[in-house]
Homo-oligomer: A and B are copies of this chain.
Amino acid sequence: MRLSRYFLPVLKETPAEAQIASHRYMLRAGMIKQAAAGIYSWLPLGWRVLKRIEDIVHQEQQRAGHIPMLMPTIQSADLWRESGRYDAYGPEMLRITDRHDRDMLFGPTNEEMITDIFRSHVSSYRDLPLTLYHIQWKFRDEVRPRFGVMRGREFYMKDGYNFDVDRDAALHAYNRHMVTYLRSYERMGLKAIPMRADSGPIGGDNTHEFLLLADTGESEVFYDSAILDLELGDRAIDFDSVEQCQAICDEWTAPYARTDETHDPALFDQVPEDRRRQSRGIEVGQIFYFGTKYSEAMGARVTNKDGEVVPVHMGSHGIGVSRLVGAIIEANHDDKGIIWPEQVTPFHCGIVNLRQGDGDCDAACERIEAALIEKGLDPLYDDRDTRAGGKFATMDLIGLPWRITVGPRGLQNGVVELTSRRTGESEEMSIDAAIDRIGQIYAAA
């Protein structure tokens, strides 16, 4: 992409309303624009990050055999009356009346709707296990929306629902989801720690939240630092294997890790003192096993192997896709701007032309751009006829992990400069070497 033809409205000044880094930088980097309190337009740069996160979530869900679909944003109130949540949900539910005076709502979650789909079509254990999920816009009418997309009203979420014949099968689905979530976060370049949680309005006994460590997190968290050393890497996982999924969950839930809601000081004291950590965290996902809460209320039953008709066992599982954009910035920034992990960066590499209009510089930049595109990468080439200082400041602000700087002096010596946004270190090398290096970095990412 050529910056001269892109829409990247960066702001020089820090918007007064933004209290945390991610909100400030998303506004300043031209990623979002507020449309109403807690409601944002995703400008082109923000949209790219949102899509990359969405893609990772889709890939990891489908790898585990979970089936994508899409439920609508607007729901009928009737289903929520069946489950009893229409009255219980409170003022955070955006209630709507259509032109025929029917009670509707903008869905904050989809347990009722998916249970209705299930009961309409499935009646036998032979069609189980089944996990359906979607990634859709949700609405939660927060009384005080704040922190940009971190606590917005309209938000983009992956929510998935498993249906199993009994508790054991459903607990395997729970574990399977934990594994898919761990891998999703890891692929985004994040350390998200599963922590035992409260179930809140979803219900159920088994639930874990996934928290990203960040100073601005809303939750207080207590954990054993040993958990930070765990990595899934690219280990092969058979998602049908009860033992394998259980073993991974055991590995990740063995070290102490809890939020203030479930913190147990006596247990925490058993962690070796040099590994005890207290910090703040941002919730970026949660998984639940709630058994037959919705299936009993709504009559979602299947025939089991013994011919008995039993309520199906369910769980639900959510990843905050739009929230993650903010959370990743909270965990990856400095005083110049954002520092994207390679896995979710909106563009893979910036190209800065120090002398736009100079034949050699222009040709070198175009050659680098074309070579990176050839490798399947998306470079952002700052081809504007503006000063170098401004170009560097923009690249630092928008946080592309790598930048290639092309100037007349370097070209005379046959070199360009490759700069890491994270370390700030620059290295001179030939054009081909820079292209190869970027290719290698992303092949490994």
Chain A contact residues, CB within 8 Å of chain B:
5-7, 9, 30, 33, 35-36, 39-44, 46-47, 50, 65, 67-76, 91-92, 94, 96, 98-99, 102, 104, 106, 113, 116-117, 120-122, 127, 130, 132, 134, 137, 139, 141, 143, 153-154
Centre residue among A9, A98, A130 by max chain B CB count within 10 A? A98
A35-B113, A75-B35, A106-B74 known; A69-B41 Cβ under 8 A: yes
- Asked if A36 and B74 sit within 8 Å, CB to CB, the answer is yes
In the assembled complex, the Cα of A137 lies from the Cα of B156 at a distance in Å of: 13
Closest beta carbon of chain B to A181's beta carbon, Å: 21
In the assembled complex, the Cα of A121 lies from the Cα of B113 at a distance in Å of: 40
- Asked if A67 and B154 sit within 8 Å, CB to CB, the answer is no
Closest beta carbon of chain B to A148's beta carbon, Å: 13
**A116 — which chain B residues lie within 8 A by C-beta?**
35
- Asked if A104 and B68 sit within 8 Å, CB to CB, the answer is no
A104-B36, A121-B9 known; A69-B96 Cβ under 8 A: no
A7-B132, A35-B113, A36-B75 known; A69-B98 Cβ under 8 A: no
8 A-B contact pairs sorted by A residue (CB < 8 Å):
A33-B117, A39-B74, A41-B72, A44-B132, A47-B68, A47-B70, A72-B154, A94-B96
A35-B75, A76-B35, A96-B96 known; A70-B91 Cβ under 8 A: no
In the assembled complex, the Cα of A30 lies from the Cα of B91 at a distance in Å of: 35
- Asked if B91 and A99 sit within 8 Å, CB to CB, the answer is yes
Closest beta carbon of chain B to A196's beta carbon, Å: 31
**A106 — which chain B residues lie within 8 A by C-beta?**
73-74, 96, 106
- Asked if A67 and B117 sit within 8 Å, CB to CB, the answer is no
- Asked if B94 and A69 sit within 8 Å, CB to CB, the answer is no
Interface of A is mostly: mixed
In the assembled complex, the Cα of A74 lies from the Cα of B73 at a distance in Å of: 11
**A41 — which chain B residues lie within 8 A by C-beta?**
69-72, 113, 117
- Asked if B69 and A43 sit within 8 Å, CB to CB, the answer is yes
- Asked if B69 and A42 sit within 8 Å, CB to CB, the answer is yes
In the assembled complex, the Cα of A67 lies from the Cα of B39 at a distance in Å of: 21
In the assembled complex, the Cα of A9 lies from the Cα of B163 at a distance in Å of: 15
Apart from A9-B122, A40-B72, A106-B106, list 10 A-B contacts with CB within 8 A.
Answer: A33-B117, A35-B75, A41-B72, A42-B71, A47-B68, A47-B134, A72-B154, A91-B99, A94-B96, A96-B96
The one of B44, B47, B67, B141 in contact with A98, judged by C-beta atoms closer than 8 angstroms, is B141
In the assembled complex, the Cα of A99 lies from the Cα of B113 at a distance in Å of: 24
- Asked if B94 and A68 sit within 8 Å, CB to CB, the answer is no
- Asked if B74 and A5 sit within 8 Å, CB to CB, the answer is no
- Asked if A139 and B74 sit within 8 Å, CB to CB, the answer is yes
A44-B132, A96-B96, A99-B143 known; A35-B69 Cβ under 8 A: no
Closest beta carbon of chain B to A386's beta carbon, Å: 11
**A91 — which chain B residues lie within 8 A by C-beta?**
99
In the assembled complex, the Cα of A129 lies from the Cα of B42 at a distance in Å of: 20
Per CB-CB distance, the 8 closest pairs between chain A and chain B, nearest first, are A9-B121, A42-B70, A36-B76, A41-B71, A91-B99, A99-B141, A39-B72, A44-B69
In the assembled complex, the Cα of A113 lies from the Cα of B35 at a distance in Å of: 8
In the assembled complex, the Cα of A73 lies from the Cα of B94 at a distance in Å of: 13
A41-B113, A113-B35 known; A70-B94 Cβ under 8 A: no
- Asked if A67 and B35 sit within 8 Å, CB to CB, the answer is no
- Asked if B65 and A5 sit within 8 Å, CB to CB, the answer is yes
In the assembled complex, the Cα of A121 lies from the Cα of B44 at a distance in Å of: 13
**A42 — which chain B residues lie within 8 A by C-beta?**
69-71
